[in-house]
Amino acid sequence: MKQIQANSKNTLVLGRQGENLARQVVFDLSDWMSEYGQGLAELIAQRPGDTAPYPAAAVQEGSTLVWTLTAADVERPRGGCCELRYYVGEALVKSRIWQTYVEPAMDTPAGEAPPAPEQAWFEQVLTAGDGAKASAEAAADAQAKAENARQSAENARDRAETAAIKQPYPSAETGTWWVWDADTASYADSGAPIADQPRVVRVTGAELTLTLANNTETRCADPVTSLTIQGFAAGDEGRAEQWGLVFTASAEGITVTVPDTLIWAVAEPVFTAGSTYWLSVVPLGGKYLAAWTEVPDES
What sign does the dihedral 299-266-291-253 (CA atoms) show?
negative
Q: What's the rounded mean pLDDT across residues 230-248?
A: 84
Residue with the larger pLDDT of the pair 204 and 269 = 204
Residue with the larger pLDDT of the pair 167 and 226 = 226
Q: Which tens digit of pLDDT belongs to each residue from 165-221? A: 566 677 767 777 777 777 787 888 877 776 555 678 899 999 999 999 988 889 999
Domains of the chain from N-terminus onward: 2-141 (2.60.40), 169-295 (no CATH)
Residue 267 has pLDDT above 80, yes or no: no
pLDDT of residue 113: 52
pTM listed for this prediction: 0.39
As a whole number of angstroms, the distance between CA 130 and CA 111 comes to 36
HSE (side-chain half, CA atoms, 13 Å) at 69: 29
What is the Rg, in whole angstroms, of the alpha carbon atoms belonging to the chain? Answer: 38
Residue with the larger pLDDT of the pair 116 and 296 = 296
- Supply angle C-alpha 213, 217, 220, rounded to 5: 100
As a whole number of angstroms, the distance between CA 142 and CA 45 comes to 33
pLDDT of residue 132: 60
Q: Which tens digit of pLDDT belongs to each residue from 5-32? A: 998 767 899 999 989 999 999 999 999 9
Portion of the chain with pLDDT greater than 70, in percent? 76
